[in-house]
């Protein structure tokens, strides 16, 4: 006798996410300036490009029942267009991707280390006017139309349209991380156990702070007083720029892969523990001062791998080592399941500037864009 099993119910993730298999682990993700394209930096050095525009967006598939007012989302009816891949390994994995203008991306070439660019459609080209040295860090000044390019201890501002140099400075230490303040007036350049603060307009040195740690990322607070950085050596680095001092919150259970500031929630949050770790601004822990801790989401038995702060709301996306992805309200216990655990960790987690799309890149070669319907957050 044949037994017929009912079809497995579709999850929310199935209905609002698009997922592609790119065959190798995703190392980093970057939306372009206009939010029309997403590029994934793969572990084998290739780049994968997908369009953010969706012919069957969740908003177009939402139906509201006339009698009850309840909303539902119908499944997709058409296959997804495949990603566009670079033909060969082109991007150096030790240097992060950067936006370039409204539509493009900048990266360090895998073989030469020189500055290259990619279009939203996946064409890769060298920026011939740029310096002929290895790139060690990149950042964008979109309002000025300039790219911050670091070559070891040398730092240049180059015109994003072609790579011609606008300003140049030589620091007394190499630079592997660059952060641009929200108003684009200050640059924080970290490397070799110190961070230099520069004026973005002319690259004049404003100050320098000694700060140890295996820094994985660097971010400014909205008020420009603080810098935060997750560290591979199980610590969170905080720099009080006004005071010219740094401190480390140590003894996290795991590496602090990500840390970020939420202007909407008035807080800084970090991964690396069994729940999202955070403190309320401006009262951060420093020296003997404990700061004002906040609790986000619920504690569990699985470590928080990564967090990504929503750009418009007091929310954050949270990924765990199992591949589980949650959406949490910062400073509250509220949580929403975005994706069930897949058994493979998330290597990259980032929001589009408008907060409508969450990109997820996995170590198993999965690449997803989750698009949240407009009526989901009221």
Mean pLDDT, all residues of the chain: 93
Cα–Cα dist 46/25, whole Å: 11
Cα–Cα dist 198/214, whole Å: 22
- Two structure tokens written together for 5: 């099993």
More confident residue, 376 or 92: 92
- For the ranges 153-167, 221-235, 342-356, 360-374, the lowest mean pLDDT is seen at 153-167
CA nearest 49: which of 102, 95, 104, 96? 104
Q: Are the C-beta atoms of residues 259 and 244 closer than 8 Å to each other?
A: no
Does the structure show a pLDDT above 50 at 1? no
Q: Are the C-beta atoms of residues 170 and 140 closer than 8 Å to each other?
A: no
Cα–Cα dist 372/369, whole Å: 10
> What confidence tens digit (pLDDT) does each residue in 216-232 have?
999 999 999 999 999 99
DSSP for 258-320 reads -EEEETTTTEEEE-SSSSEEEEESS---BTTB---EEEES---SS-EEEEEE-SSSSEEEEEE
Which residues, in sequence order, are bridge partners of residue 328? Answer: 316, 335
Q: What is the pLDDT of residue 293?
A: 97
Q: What is the pLDDT of residue 62?
A: 83
Tell me the average pLDDT across 78-82.
Answer: 94
Sequence-ordered list of residues with C-beta below 8 angstroms from that of 371, at least 6 positions apart, any chain: 16, 17, 18, 54, 57, 58, 59, 356, 357
Task: Report how far apart, in Å, the C-alpha atoms of 223 and of each of 113, 148, 281 are.
Answer: 35, 22, 10
Q: Are the C-beta atoms of residues 248 and 207 closer than 8 Å to each other?
A: no
CA nearest 297: which of 256, 326, 268, 266? 326
Task: Report how far apart, in Å, the C-alpha atoms of 317 and of each of 11, 269, 348 are.
Answer: 18, 11, 11
Q: How confident is the model at residue 87 (pLDDT cuts 50, 70, 90)?
A: confident
More confident residue, 235 or 63: 235
Q: Are the C-beta atoms of residues 100 and 106 closer than 8 Å to each other?
A: yes
CA nearest 32: which of 352, 301, 261? 352
Q: Give the CA-trace dihedral at 240, 245, 250, 252, to 10 degrees.
A: 20
Tell me the average pLDDT across 267-291.
Answer: 96
CA nearest 225: which of 208, 238, 212? 238
Does the structure show a pLDDT above 60 at 135? yes
Tell me the average pLDDT across 155-165.
Answer: 90
Residue with tokens 């928080």: 304
Above pLDDT 70, what percent of the chain?
A: 96
Q: Are the C-beta atoms of residues 364 and 44 closer than 8 Å to each other?
A: no
Q: How many CB atoms lie within 10 A of CB 78?
A: 7
Q: What is the pLDDT of residue 119?
A: 96
User: For residue 329, with 0-12 CB atoms within 10 Å meaning exposed, 13-18 middle and 19 or more buried, which class applies?
Assistant: middle
Does the structure show a pLDDT above 70 at 102? yes
List helix spans (H) across the chain: 12-16, 58-61
Which residues, in sequence order, are bridge partners of residue 143? Answer: none
Q: How confident is the model at residue 69 (pLDDT cuts 50, 70, 90)?
A: low
User: For residue 169, with 0-12 CB atoms within 10 Å meaning exposed, 13-18 middle and 19 or more buried, which class applies?
Assistant: middle
Tell me the average pLDDT across 50-72.
Answer: 83
Tell me the average pLDDT across 40-52.
Answer: 97
Q: What is the pLDDT of residue 66?
A: 66
Q: What is the pLDDT of residue 179?
A: 98
Q: What is the pLDDT of residue 6?
A: 44
Does the structure show a pLDDT above 50 at 164? yes
Dihedral-angle region of residue 243 (phi above 0 means left; psi in -120 to 50 means alpha; beta otherwise)? alpha
Tell me the average pLDDT across 347-375.
Answer: 96
Cα–Cα dist 197/206, whole Å: 5
């Amino acid at each position: 006798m044949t037994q017929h099993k009912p079809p497995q119910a579709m999850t929310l993730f199935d209905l609002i996410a698009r997922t592609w298999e790119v065959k190798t682990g995703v190392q980093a993700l970057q939306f372009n300036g206009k939010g029309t394209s997403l590029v994934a930096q793969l572990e084998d050095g290739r780049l994968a490009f997908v369009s953010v525009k969706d012919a069957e967006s969740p908003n177009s598939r939402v139906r509201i029942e006339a009698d009850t007012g309840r909303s539902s989302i119908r499944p997709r009816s058409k296959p997804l267009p495949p990603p566009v891949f670079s033909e060969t390994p082109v991007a150096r994995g030790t240097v992060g991707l950067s936006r370039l203008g409204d539509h493009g991306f900048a990266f360090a070439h895998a073989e030469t280390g020189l500055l290259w660019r990619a279009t939203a459609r996946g064409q890769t080209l060298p920026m011939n006017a740029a310096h002929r040295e290895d790139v060690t860090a990149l950042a964008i000044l979109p309002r000025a139309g300039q790219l911050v390019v670091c070559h070891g201890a040398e730092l240049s501002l180059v015109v994003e349209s072609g790579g011609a140099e606008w300003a140049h400075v030589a620091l007394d230490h190499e630079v592997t991380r660059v952060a641009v303040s929200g108003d684009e007036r200050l640059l924080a350049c970290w490397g070799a156990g110190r961070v230099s603060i520069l004026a973005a307009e002319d690259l004049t040195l404003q100050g320098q702070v000694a700060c140890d740690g295996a820094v994985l990322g660097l971010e400014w607070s909205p008020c420009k007083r603080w810098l935060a950085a997750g560290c591979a050596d199980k610590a969170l680095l905080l720099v009080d720029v006004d005071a010219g001092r740094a401190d480390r919150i140590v003894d996290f259970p795991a590496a602090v892969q990500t840390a970020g500031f939420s202007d909407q929630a008035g807080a800084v949050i970090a991964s690396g523990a069994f729940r999202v770790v955070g403190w309320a601004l401006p009262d951060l822990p420093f020296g003997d001062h404990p700061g004002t801790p906040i609790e986000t989401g619920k504690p569990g038995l699985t470590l928080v791998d990564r967090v990504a702060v929503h750009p418009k709301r007091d929310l954050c996306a949270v990924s765990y080592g199992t591949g589980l992805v949650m959406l949490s309200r910062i400073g509250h216990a509220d949580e929403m399941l975005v994706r069930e655990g897949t058994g493979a960790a998330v290597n990259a987690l980032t929001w589009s500037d408008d907060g409508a799309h969450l990109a997820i890149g996995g170590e198993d070669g999965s690449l997803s864009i989750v698009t949240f319907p407009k009526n989901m957050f009221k």
